[in-house]
Amino acid sequence: MDGPLSDVIVIDLTRALAGPHAAMMLADQGARVIKVEPPAGDDTRAWGPPFVGPDEARESTYFLSANRNKESVVLDLKDPADSQVLARLVERADVLMENYRGGVLERLGFGTERLHALNPRLVVLSITGFGHDGPEAQRAGYDQIAQGEGGLMSLTGSGTPTKVGVPIADLVAGMNGAFGVLAALHERERTGRGRVVRTSLLAGMVGVHAFQGTRWTVAGEVPGPAGAHHPSISPYGLFETGTAAIQIACGSEGLWRALCAALDLDATDPRFATNADRVAHRDALTGLLEAHFATDPAEHWLEVLATAGVPSGKVRTLDDVYAWEQTRSQGLLLDVEHPTLGRLRLPGSPLRFDDAAHSGGRSTHLPPPRLGEHTEAVKAWLDS
């Protein structure tokens, strides 16, 4: 193992996406992550299509997205012998991650008191749907529900409440969880003891409200769907051209003046004199700009805007994103060799250290494991 977390051992008891994503973030930085799965495997092994590989060894692309750089061990935690294996893992680990409903881990014999009796230095990450306490603590946590209950869907789209195109509640909860684990590991260096880190899908959704949250808590405004334009800045959004939509972000008065100069518009028009004026007259400004842009194709306007120094871009499909040289230059594609699927190309870590050609903190990356692939090897390590 190598990487900034190469001395950290993580037991990943999580399934689906929030917890596995948190564990993968640590694995990308070199932590040894031992994914403990029930005999049927992580739920996401069955989430598809698409699946890849032969029927007898097919893998879900959903599972492949969240489990690189891990080892898979199969344990039935209701079986006393397997429960003892987990106890031995806890004694050796630095971090344990779980996303069971409240009370489940206790019923399995691994409540917080026992975990810390086995290993006082253990950092425990607990991810729930709506929090570990409060009147709705026992609700199951699913991304679609959390996006709605946490208010994000009320801000997204142009009318009908719209979910984000990826499981953003799961992903944000996983990122928050990994951040909390690192803070607890840092604190442990000073105190010598681990602690429980808690987060939830609901907390993640509320935590990303940003300025939309203070529109209500401070200004008393209830934000509605933002559509493809920024509710507080203009022009900042999606604009149609003669061939395809482009995006513009005029985040300052200087950029507004640069845009007007590039398009030969009157920057002193009283309707658009300040950002507040432009927001108030957004529809008129959007119509004016789109009438201008309709005369030429998108690529022409992107070149004009780039020359003028106005931030702009196109909306790429994922095939275009992964073929884009800028994406590749950041090491955001990882090639791994899977034992049954052969060479796989996976999206990489969003972090990059120094001048490494690839993303993540380790020099080599491992494929997502087959179910139980490392059970015997891990048991042998425990016996060593």
Annotated catalytic residues are 170
Structure tokens at 324: 């884009």
Helices (H), the chain: 18-28, 61-65, 80-92, 104-107, 112-118, 143-149, 152-155, 168-191, 201-207, 211-217, 253-263, 275-280, 282-293, 298-308, 318-323, 325-329, 375-383
Residue 161 near residue 154, CB atoms below 8 Å: yes
Structure tokens at 354: 């120094």
Calpha distance 370→329 (Å, rounded)? 30
Backbone angles phi, psi at 343, to 5 degrees: -75, 130
Nearest CA to 172 out of 144, 200, 211, 142 is that of 200
User: What are 99's strand-pairing partners?
Assistant: none
b/e per residue, 229-255, with b = 16+ CB within 10 A? bbbebbbbbebebeeeebbbebeeeeb
Nearest CA to 35 out of 54, 21, 52 is that of 21
The number of C-alpha atoms within 13 Å of 143 and in the hemisphere containing its C-beta is 17
Residue 147 near residue 162, CB atoms below 8 Å: no
Nearest CA to 377 out of 14, 13, 71 is that of 71
Containing 60, the helix (H) or strand (E) segment is strand 59-60
